[in-house]
A and B are shown apart, each in its own frame.
Chain A
Amino acid sequence: QSVLTQPPSVSAAPGQKVTISCSGSSSNVVNNYVSWYQQLPGTPPKLLIYENNKRPSGIPDRFSGSKSGTSAILGITGLQTGDEADYYCGTWDSSLSAGVFGGGTKLTVL
């Protein structure tokens, strides 16, 4: 299983808000930056959030990131059907000297 733990799936209605959690430990989430990626079906992943809470140019402010202790959170407001995708958190693990991803969360917009 993955070093970072994400819920396998989340769902919400269009226009609503959803949060996706990413749980780790002191060797990864606590002491390193967390990034979030969106993977639409059949496409490469896309960076949504970096350095815990920063959005790259072109990413709408409906997407937000936060971190507290051993957990990071991705928030998405004003859900759209186009947000249906797999979402992954990622960071560096200082004990492993390796990059790590969460197992991914499938978002369904009902």
Chain B
Amino acid sequence: EVQLVESGGGLVQPGGSLRLSCAASGFTFSSSAMTWVRQAPGKGLEWVSSLISSGTSTYYADSVQGRFTISRDNSKNTLYLQMNSLRAEDTAVYYCAKGGMSSSGLDYWGQGTLVSVSS
């Protein structure tokens, strides 16, 4: 059974940092593209970032480019999202998803972790 479990969310002040983790199991993590998607309270889905299986190619939404860094540790079956210089508008539930937007879609999703940016 495929499982994606996010952690690391919480309350942070504007300008602060957080690192989200996504522990994956039930599939060959090292062979899968992975994606972060967020959803602000009461709003729609927003693609945040993706990286290919090897981790050598990464992609970011303009809204987070230069502030967020996606990475993976294939030895730990874990996906990360380092978030720096956080803003109020980054407040959202962050979902980890298996796959990429350009291929077979995002076929499995985690339950999400809430990030709140507020003073």
Contacts and interface: CB of A to CB of B under 8 A. Distances in A.
Q: Say if A and B assemble together.
A: yes
A99 interface: yes
B101 A100 contact: yes
Interface residues of B, number: 25
A50 B105 contact: yes
Given A45-B95, A98-B59, A99-B50, A90 B44 contact: no
Contact of A50 (B44, B45, B107, B112): B107
Given A2-B44, A44-B95, A50 B104 contact: yes
A49 B58 CA distance: 25
Contacts of A86: 44
Contacts of B35: 99
B68 to A, nearest CB: 13
Given A99-B101, A101-B46, A47 B111 contact: no
B49 to A, nearest CB: 9
Nearest to A3: B47
B112 A33 contact: no
B61 A98 contact: yes
B45 A104 contact: yes
Contact of B106 (A32, A45, A96): A45
Interface residues of A, number: 28
Contacts of B46: 101
Interface string B42-66: 0011110010000000011110000
A39 B42 CA distance: 12
Given A44-B112, A45-B95, A99-B35, A51 B104 contact: yes
A95 interface: no
A32 B102 contact: yes
Interface of B: 35, 37, 44-47, 50, 59-62, 95, 100-112
